[in-house]
Chain A
């Protein structure tokens, strides 16, 4: 009897240890980045869990750099434009794919699936040519265009899944009233699709905000860079030591809004991820 209780207790303790381990591993690196961002650069040689002297100097330094502010602006511009375009093209396409039966539908879905599995490097040289031909090199427009390669397939896929689940009766009623497909989408489906669009929009925003390869390759000057490239290329006055404290301050600035968004919308995001089973 007692040995059984003992083993039950051990199992319980083991479970809570596991929970604690998971939480520490998940959260500690982010906590340590925040801690470092408040540490004066001169104190970095001391390894400690809590800053003995906290400072805002690293944040002041980051925000005094015009190029960093410009990068944040570029990132916001690129990510919101990409979301807007992906949703606009995605909602009409998902109506066609989710509600209408026509020849070639399966092929279109397979093409979309195929594009979502593309390695980005495989289109790099071809896309470089397209972007230069359109005069969009070193311009946020080039990034907005190229980011549709990974946001559009996934947006269409998830919205199609959601569109399919809406009841038939709605559309029947609209057709009985003589509504055209365009009116059916804008007046009947759109109001019902807001939750799905918020989810996919958020995932597309995160994907565009985080993208690195295209942003690194298709921009040249500081003023056109996005946040990930700016952070990857941050370097200090001396060539020997990277300015870790300001790098961490910049990292925290661009990450905190994302973490807050993800935690607020976690239910939405989980359902969007599992509906599309596509990485964000």
Chain B
């Protein structure tokens, strides 16, 4: 069921057997294939390929949002330049490095939590009990809610004066005075992480559940007969078997978390204590109208994500090979 799309050898085609592959039919089919692909490829080139190249190009210019046509090539000045005894550019901006750190911190913490909670939820949903369909429907609700809406919902629940979370924590005696979750720099990152974990754990849980449901029943029966403790069975049998599905879930969540924008934008706006790389780039680009500088930040974000993907695929393959079979 779950196709490991991260593998580099993608879905094989299902060609007709040799007897039907007379050259005429075959040539007609190949020609038709390219004809059918053309509209999609043109669209992707227009919305992805060309804009990406233009972003790379803009990052070497002084383009501004009001006038993007009349630009001057300024080399690497948007990235790093030494001028009058000081360094300038994205790479010399402490706020950019703060954004990089925030993004990495956010991604690692929230994806780790999502994997742990996702596996727990999947194990529960995989057990047979009355009302399982209802519980699964309930788990899907956070996934169905638009990110903006969930951010607003949590912003309201985390409200410092009237929020129910402060109210509950104070009633339970855990905190003495209300906490400004989204405004206080000590808590705002955790507020963001909490909302993200709430919203995306269902996605991880569903992928893991699909993997769990394909596991062979017989080794569990054998383990039960031998009286092996369920916890040991989980770590020795289940976990290794669902690792491929987990890796797919992790890479998708990681790529998504590294480009995080909307949760943070709604919950904490442009505050530097939670600013992500995407927020930084968009702020330069749109609010400060500095297309050149913003494009330099976007390009760096693109490179970081590309490197992370390559490193992950490389390490993942190595680990899977070491893991045997």
Which residues of A come within 8 Å of B, CB atoms?
Answer: 15, 18-19, 22-23, 25-27, 29-30, 32-33, 36, 44-45, 47, 85, 89-90, 92-93, 95-102, 105-106, 108-113, 115, 117-130, 132, 145-146, 148-149, 152-153, 156-157, 160-161, 164, 168, 171-172, 175, 180-182, 185, 206, 209-210, 212-213, 216-217, 227-229, 231-232, 244, 247-248, 251, 254-255, 258-259, 261-263, 266, 269-271, 273-280
Q: Give the shortest distance, in Å, between B300 (CB) and chain A (any CB).
A: 10
Instruction: From B1, B12, B146, B162, give the contact of A275 (CB < 8 A).
Output: B1
Could you tell me if A89 and B43 are in contact, using CB atoms closer than 8 angstroms? yes
Nearest CB in chain B to that of A227: its residue = B146
- Residues of chain B contacted by A27 (CB below 8 angstroms): 138, 141
CA distance A263 to B116 in the complex (A): 24
- Residues of chain B contacted by A130 (CB below 8 angstroms): 46-47, 50-51, 54
- Residues of chain B contacted by A156 (CB below 8 angstroms): 40
CA distance A38 to B205 in the complex (A): 32
CB within 8 Å of A: which B148-203 residues: 148-154, 156-157, 159, 161-164, 167, 198, 200, 202-203
Could you tell me if A148 and B2 are in contact, using CB atoms closer than 8 angstroms? no
Q: A47-B162, A117-B309, A273-B203 are in contact. Are A89 and B39 (CB under 8 A)?
A: yes
- Residues of chain A contacted by B140 (CB below 8 angstroms): 262-263, 266, 269
CA distance A258 to B144 in the complex (A): 6
Which residues of B come within 8 Å of A, CB atoms?
Answer: 1-5, 8-17, 20, 25, 28-30, 32-34, 36-37, 39-41, 43-44, 46-48, 50-55, 58, 63, 65, 68, 120-121, 124, 127, 129, 135-154, 156-157, 159, 161-164, 167, 198, 200, 202-203, 206-207, 209-210, 248-249, 252-253, 255-256, 258-259, 261-262, 265-266, 277-278, 281-282, 285-286, 291, 294-295, 298-299, 301-302, 305, 309
A–B pairs, 5, beta carbons within 8 Å: A18-B120, A100-B15, A156-B40, A164-B14, A212-B147
Q: A96-B36, A244-B159 are in contact. Are A122 and B299 (CB under 8 A)?
A: yes
Could you tell me if A274 and B13 are in contact, using CB atoms closer than 8 angstroms? no
- Residues of chain B contacted by A44 (CB below 8 angstroms): 162
Q: Give the shortest distance, in Å, between A124 (CB) and chain B (any CB).
A: 6
Could you tell me if A108 and B32 are in contact, using CB atoms closer than 8 angstroms? no
Could you tell me if B14 and A121 are in contact, using CB atoms closer than 8 angstroms? no
Q: Interface SS of chain A: helix, strand, loop or mixed?
A: helix
Q: Give the shortest distance, in Å, between A186 (CB) and chain B (any CB).
A: 12
- Residues of chain A contacted by B20 (CB below 8 angstroms): 172, 175
CA distance A152 to B37 in the complex (A): 12
- Residues of chain B contacted by A25 (CB below 8 angstroms): 198
Could you tell me if A266 and B121 are in contact, using CB atoms closer than 8 angstroms? no
Which residue of A30, A124, A125 has the most chain B CB atoms within 10 A of its CB atom? Answer: A125
Could you tell me if B152 and A251 are in contact, using CB atoms closer than 8 angstroms? yes
- Residues of chain B contacted by A111 (CB below 8 angstroms): 41, 44
Instruction: From A149, A153, A232, A274, give the contact of B207 (CB < 8 A).
Output: A274
Nearest CB in chain A to that of B58: its residue = A125
Could you tell me if B13 and A97 are in contact, using CB atoms closer than 8 angstroms? yes
Q: Tally of A-B residue pairs with Cβ under 8 A?
A: 326
Q: A19-B129, A119-B259 are in contact. Are A255 and B149 (CB under 8 A)?
A: yes
- Residues of chain B contacted by A96 (CB below 8 angstroms): 32-34, 36-37
CA distance A156 to B10 in the complex (A): 13
- Residues of chain B contacted by A89 (CB below 8 angstroms): 39-40, 43
CA distance A228 to B143 in the complex (A): 15
Nearest CB in chain A to that of B142: its residue = A26
Q: Give the shortest distance, in Å, between A66 (CB) and chain B (any CB).
A: 20
Could you tell me if A109 and B10 are in contact, using CB atoms closer than 8 angstroms? yes
Nearest CB in chain A to that of B132: its residue = A19
Instruction: From A121, A210, A273, give the contact of B261 (CB < 8 A).
Output: A121
Could you tell me if A97 and B37 are in contact, using CB atoms closer than 8 angstroms? yes
- Residues of chain B contacted by A213 (CB below 8 angstroms): 261-262, 278, 282
CA distance A47 to B156 in the complex (A): 11
Which residue of A44, A210, A274 has the most chain B CB atoms within 10 A of its CB atom? Answer: A274
- Residues of chain B contacted by A228 (CB below 8 angstroms): 146-149, 262
Could you tell me if B47 and A181 are in contact, using CB atoms closer than 8 angstroms? no
Q: Give the shortest distance, in Å, between B32 (CB) and chain A (any CB).
A: 4
- Residues of chain B contacted by A122 (CB below 8 angstroms): 52, 55, 298-299, 301-302, 305
Could you tell me if B145 and A276 are in contact, using CB atoms closer than 8 angstroms? no
- Residues of chain A contacted by B298 (CB below 8 angstroms): 119, 121-125
Could you tell me if B32 and A126 are in contact, using CB atoms closer than 8 angstroms? no
CA distance A190 to B193 in the complex (A): 43
CA distance A194 to B321 in the complex (A): 39
Could you tell me if B262 and A212 are in contact, using CB atoms closer than 8 angstroms? yes
Could you tell me if B55 and A99 are in contact, using CB atoms closer than 8 angstroms? no
- In the complex, given contacts A119-B255, A181-B36, A206-B144, what are 9 additional A-B residue pairs having Cβ atoms less than 8 angstroms apart? A30-B141, A93-B36, A93-B40, A106-B9, A121-B282, A232-B262, A248-B152, A248-B153, A262-B140
CA distance A232 to B301 in the complex (A): 25
Could you tell me if A277 and B14 are in contact, using CB atoms closer than 8 angstroms? no
Nearest CB in chain B to that of A93: its residue = B40
CA distance A111 to B40 in the complex (A): 11
Q: Give the shortest distance, in Å, between B219 (CB) and chain A (any CB).
A: 21
